[in-house]
Amino acid sequence: MAEITKSEVLNAFKKIEDKNLNVNLLTLNSIKTVETKVNDFVVNVVLPVPPAAVTDELKNKFVDILKSNFGRLEKVKVNIETKVTSHKDEKKERLLPGVKNTIAVASGKGGVGKSTVAVNLAVALARDGAKVGLIDADIYGPSIPLMLGINEKPKVYQNPKSAKMLPLENFGIKLMSIGFLVDDGTPVIWRGPMASGAVKQFMTDVEWEELDYLVFDMPPGTGDIQLTLVQTIPLTGAIIVTTPQEVSLIDARKGLKMFNRVNVPVLGIVENMSFFIAPDTGKQYDIFGTGGGENLAKELEVPFLGGIPINSKIRIGGDQGIPMAFDNPDSDYAKTMQEVARKVATEINLRNLNDTNVEIILGDE
């Protein structure tokens, strides 16, 4: 029997339609080995998605497509492993050697829900099986320790060569906050170099170990300090959070320009406080207007990652230190955050593969 080649298998796989797998992510590199023995057929695949994206439904699609394309086979087995791709960047390798990707959650305007999105994005990525860290880089008001119910300080761990801080952990994510460096209630006037110095310390002096994603909750605005920070952090990409009203959208545009200036790709726009559903009547109210974030994404030619409603449970979860994406995973809100997280993961993977992979157009083996 003629051997079946990797590229034939890849061509078959490209026809798979699934909400969790963007077929553009499938490259010849994904297919590790193809073994054909008489009537048995085994394919080993490594998909660049978080583990939870590989559902039984998806596994069956792989088997079915092989059966329908190579009908003469009796036994078909597909082994699927997952591996999040890594952003190749020299500065990142130096500052954060075990961290595959870094994401800034930013906004132009304050109070639009950056920290809420950053926390819930991190939790949603972790729920999908990714290893996730979160750095609260908001020098104006670090709020993540409160939002994750953490009130201890990080421990310092002394190894023979140097002292390293151990990140705190809750809800499956690791955390460092600028809040750990200052006393509660004491206002600190940060200057750009101080702020970037503190954030640099979080990258080099913290024992992050291996992470698929390190999320940075940024301070609001697009001034000097923010610019210094985005130049200090080796960023894979940024997410911009906005509310639907014009004042917020204007500032979101400025945010996008800031990232463009320093060549950091904008992975997409999240619209927060998109609408309110009255719990008693179920009626939808567009408190801050409607469609602003989506229109902005179109105008700026970046992906629209999702719209999050106003819900008092989101605020209460934040105040009580229990993120909604963790506490109430079946809520529409948590589902939206999960979709946002998967879109972010896909955007990052696509960029990483585009950066490194040209094999998709090559021949066999």
Ligand X SMILES: Nc1ncnc2c1ncn2[C@@H]1O[C@H](COP(=O)(O)OP(=O)(O)OP(=O)(O)O)[C@@H](O)[C@H]1O
Applying CB under 6 A, the residues found at the interface with ligand X are 107, 110-116, 138, 141, 143, 220, 272-273, 308, 310-311, 314-315, 318
Q: Which does 352 bind (CB under 5 to 8 A by kind): Mg ion, ligand X, none?
A: none
Show the tokens assigned to 281: 């009547």
Q: Which does 149 bind (CB under 5 to 8 A by kind): Mg ion, ligand X, none?
A: none
Instruction: Count how many Cα atoms sit within 13 Å of the Cα of residue 225 in the half-sphere of its side chain.
Output: 19
Q: How many CB atoms lie within 10 A of CB 48?
A: 25
Per CB under 5 A, 236 contacts Mg ion:
no
Q: Closest separation between CB of residue 232 and ligand X, Å?
A: 19
Contacts of 98 (CB under 8 A, 6+ apart): 208, 209, 210, 211
What gap in Å lies between CA 65 and CA 63, rounded to an integer? 6
The residue range among 47-55, 107-115, 200-208, 259-267 that interacts with Mg ion, by the rule CB under 5 A, is: 107-115
Q: Where are the alpha helices (DSSP H) in the chain?
A: 6-13, 56-69, 90-95, 114-127, 144-147, 192-204, 224-232, 246-261, 292-300, 312-320, 324-327, 332-356
Q: Which does 222 bind (CB under 5 to 8 A by kind): ligand X, Mg ion, none?
A: none
Per CB under 5 A, 116 contacts Mg ion:
no
Is 237 or 323 the residue whose CB approaches ligand X more closely? Answer: 323
Size of the site for Mg ion (CB under 5 A): 4
Q: Which does 249 bind (CB under 5 to 8 A by kind): Mg ion, ligand X, none?
A: none
Show the tokens assigned to 250: 């204007």
Q: Closest separation between CB of residue 3 and ligand X, Å?
A: 54
What gap in Å lies between CA 309 and CA 75, rounded to an integer? 48
Q: Closest separation between CB of residue 97 and Mg ion, Å?
A: 28
Cβ-closest position to Mg ion: 115
Per CB under 5 A, 177 contacts Mg ion:
no
Q: Which does 133 bind (CB under 5 to 8 A by kind): Mg ion, ligand X, none?
A: none
Show the tokens assigned to 60: 């069956």
Nearest to 291 by CA among 268, 274, 277: 274
Per CB under 5 A, 115 contacts Mg ion:
yes
Q: Which residue has the tokens 């190579």?
A: 70
Is 129 or 141 the residue whose CB approaches ligand X more closely? Answer: 141
> By the criterion CB under 5 A, which residues form the site for Mg ion?
114-115, 138, 143
